[in-house]
Structure 1
Amino acid sequence: MTNTRSPNNESACHLFACCREAKKAYSMVGLPNLPVMGNNVQDWFFDCLNALHNELIAKFVIICWGIWCSRNECVWQGASFDLSLMLRHSLLFLENWSAANTSPIVNQGPRSVVRWEKPQRGRLKMNTDAAINQTKGITGFGWLLRDHDGHFLGAKNLRGQGIYGPKEAEAIGMREALSWLKDTCLGEVDVETDSQLVFKAISGHDFTSAFGLIICDIKELASQINDVDFCFAKRSANRAAHTVAREAVYESDCGEWFDTPPIFLRDCILDDLMN
């Protein structure tokens, strides 16, 4: 894939079928080697559709779309091709489209109330969460770290422009929290989330989707930190992290705090300790 403003420098067959980066993209989402016969890209495209089954057809089509969009950005905007970014955007679009065209399953069962619990002696606990403001088009990410006595050690929040799906937002928040934790050089940490989808994904096998790529980042970061355990907690046990994330959405400034918690968080931490 070339970074040129002349559309004639690259044939459609090379762009989709022969380009090294395109082949790498197909492989990274689990597609088999796609045969290239002749120079007719239309014949190649429909041969690939006939050779693939349902799930892989959707991934194949969306990656072709992503390649085409990236190629246009290279040609007309002078942008550099970023394979990882193209995969994330394309697979996230596919996930959102699939979710919009699938009837959700609503669980009407009661939700048990669970309070925040201190980690075992000698360990730390980091709670992470995300908050989404649909009206402003903003997503907030927040986390805080406490010791085995429940004492506050640190917290941080970030603001991201744009709306993410709930599981992607939760996963991005955890990834950012782990990156921050790695920089502190601390270890022996229980990382707690109220997203069951994120927790199960971390405990399961890698899979090729935008969400799956974020989960891979989480696993990689965790492997670089001494003794990280992941835990699932009910939302009622994760109120402090949600408070930090929500502050990033509704207040003008984000922040980072060590040793002394910010004013907006103090009552929540005290409530966790008392219960």
Structure 2
Amino acid sequence: MEYDDMWYSDRDLRGCYSVKDGYRKLGELNGPCLPVWGNLWKLQVPPKWKNFLWRALSVNLPTLNNLIKRRVELINICPACGTDEENVMHILCSCYFATHVWNISQLPIPSFDGMNFVQWMELWLGVSAAYNTEAHGRICGLLYDIWSARNEAVWEGCLPVLYVLLQRFSARWATWIASEQQRSISRVPHAPPTPNPLLPPPTGVICRVDAGFHGPTRVPAYGIIVQEADGSFVAAGNGPLICSYDPILAEALAMCEALSWLRNNGFSMITVYTDSSILVSSLSHACSFRTYLGYVLLSCKHLLSTMSSSVVNHVCRDAVQAAHVMAKHVSATLARSQWRDVPHPFLEPDVANAI
């Protein structure tokens, strides 16, 4: 096949770059990704609290030490306590004002001693932290309110009274919990996509396709079963595939093998069954893919277009069990094999179940 070279992202099924992929890649380049970074976005709190906490972890808050690094001419004196230099850990945790807020709140937070902000966050939001969802939310919300109080000191010249700050936080938290409970009541549960139980009657022959991987090295192989509409056996085949461990790509290559065999053997009215819903939906958007998978999908669409009546349907795993057995048979990784008119003995029970 001859195609023009193009840029693509190896982190996306379609090969299209996204900011999310770039963010993850940047995190990998800058060092190991601590669990706290992933758990941050799982917090059940208002989005602006998550964004604030992300900025604090990224050392992107406009604290005085950060502003000085950006060549803003300031004197680094904490606006809350007026004694120490301001940084993220100081203003949110170890400052005299912040320490009093934490003590009065009676939240079970880890000690601040000798830690930076990321290390302290890891203690209550990391994998090994024994804090429940409510504790996570309350700590996050109180951090946000401490930062808001700091901004009042900067722009209005005064700090809120400690008890007023805590009452304000408690009211916000109660409002958020009530709104979430109301949203969960009104939210309609989203059912996962399931194969359509009312598929139209198949036209012509039925071809069941599946791919599988063998052993610890995950060697790919395909399996196909062709039957008449009444279930009578027509042919079966299996063989190796050439691809890396990529289930979607393997399913697409198996589909391409099946369609090529059907066309080469003179079948023009076919119904193809696969248990990969992603493959079925991807066939409709093959042109948007910038990866090798896109070329395979385009080949499948071309093969389908050469047949007078052809359709690809998503079915449940049990409906292609016979093809799965073919793909997982030990012979599949060795060479291409075909059986015509009479199925191989190892296949007979599964062919009977597929009828």
- Normalised to the residue count of structure 1, the TM-score between the two structures is 0.57
Q: Which amino acid aligns with 1:189?
A: I
Contact preservation (8 Å) 2:320, 2:354: no
Give 1:204 shift.
Answer: 3.0
Match of 1:188 in 2: 269
Match of 1:240 in 2: 322
Q: Which amino acid aligns with 1:204?
A: H
Contact preservation (8 Å) 2:248, 2:279: yes
* Paired residues for 1:28-43 under 5 Å: none
Give the one of 301, 305, 328 matched to 1:219.
Answer: 301
Match of 2:340 in 1: 258
Match of 1:271 in 2: 353
Alpha-carbon distance change, 169 to 225 in structure 1, aligned in 2, over 3 angstroms: same
Alpha-carbon distance change, 211 to 251 in structure 1, aligned in 2, over 3 angstroms: closer
**CA–CA separation in structure 1 for the residues paired with 2:348 and 2:194:** 25
Match of 2:223 in 1: 142
Matched, 1:124 2:179: no
Aligned length: 185
Alpha-carbon distance change, 90 to 234 in structure 1, aligned in 2, over 3 angstroms: closer
Give 1:254 shift.
Answer: 4.5
Contact preservation (8 Å) 2:219, 2:333: no
User: For the pair shown, which has the larger CA radius of gyration, 1 or 2?
Assistant: 2
Alpha-carbon distance change, 118 to 239 in structure 1, aligned in 2, over 3 angstroms: farther
Contact preservation (8 Å) 1:126, 1:189: yes
Alpha-carbon distance change, 210 to 92 in structure 1, aligned in 2, over 3 angstroms: farther
Q: Which amino acid aligns with 1:141?
A: Y
Paired-residue identity, %:
24
Matched, 1:210 2:190: no
Alpha-carbon distance change, 136 to 209 in structure 1, aligned in 2, over 3 angstroms: closer
Give 1:163 shift.
Answer: 3.1
**CA–CA separation in structure 1 for the residues paired with 2:301 and 2:264:** 16
* 3-state SS of paired residue (2:313): strand
Match of 1:81 in 2: none
- Normalised to the residue count of structure 2, the TM-score between the two structures is 0.45
Give 1:133 shift.
Answer: 2.2
Matched, 1:25 2:5: yes
Alpha-carbon distance change, 90 to 251 in structure 1, aligned in 2, over 3 angstroms: closer
Contact preservation (8 Å) 2:214, 2:220: yes
**What does the per-residue CA deviation read over 1:135-156, in whole Å, with 9 as the maximum and x for residues that have no partner?**
1341111111100110010011
Give 1:200 shift.
Answer: 0.3
Contact preservation (8 Å) 1:137, 1:162: no
Please give the root-mean-square deviation of Cα atoms over the aligned residues, in Å.
Answer: 3.8
Q: Which amino acid aligns with 2:315?
A: A
Q: Which amino acid aligns with 1:215?
A: L
* 3-state SS of paired residue (2:250): helix
Alpha-carbon distance change, 250 to 141 in structure 1, aligned in 2, over 3 angstroms: closer
**What does the per-residue CA deviation read over 1:48-92, in whole Å, with 9 as the maximum and x for residues that have no partner?**
xxxxxxxxxxx3xx7xxxxxxxxxxxxxxxxxxxxxxxxxx9998
Give 1:162 shift.
Answer: 5.2
Structure 2 gaps of 5+ residues are 26-37, 39-189
* 3-state SS of paired residue (2:207): strand
**CA–CA separation in structure 2 for the residues paired with 1:93 and 1:249:** 32
* 3-state SS of paired residue (2:236): strand
Structure 1 runs of 4+ aligned residues shifted over 4 Å read 89-95, 108-115, 248-254
**What does the per-residue CA deviation read over 1:179-226, in whole Å, with 9 as the maximum and x for residues that have no partner?**
111110111100111111110011235122221111001001111122
Q: Which amino acid aligns with 2:223?
A: G
Matched, 1:156 2:237: yes
Contact preservation (8 Å) 2:238, 2:332: no
* 3-state SS of paired residue (1:25): coil
Matched, 1:179 2:159: no
**CA–CA separation in structure 1 for the residues paired with 2:306 and 2:330:** 27
Higher RCO structure, 1 or 2 (CA under 8 Å, sep 6+) = 1
Give 1:164 shift.
Answer: 3.0
Q: Which amino acid aligns with 1:231?
A: N
Match of 2:312 in 1: 230
Match of 1:32 in 2: none
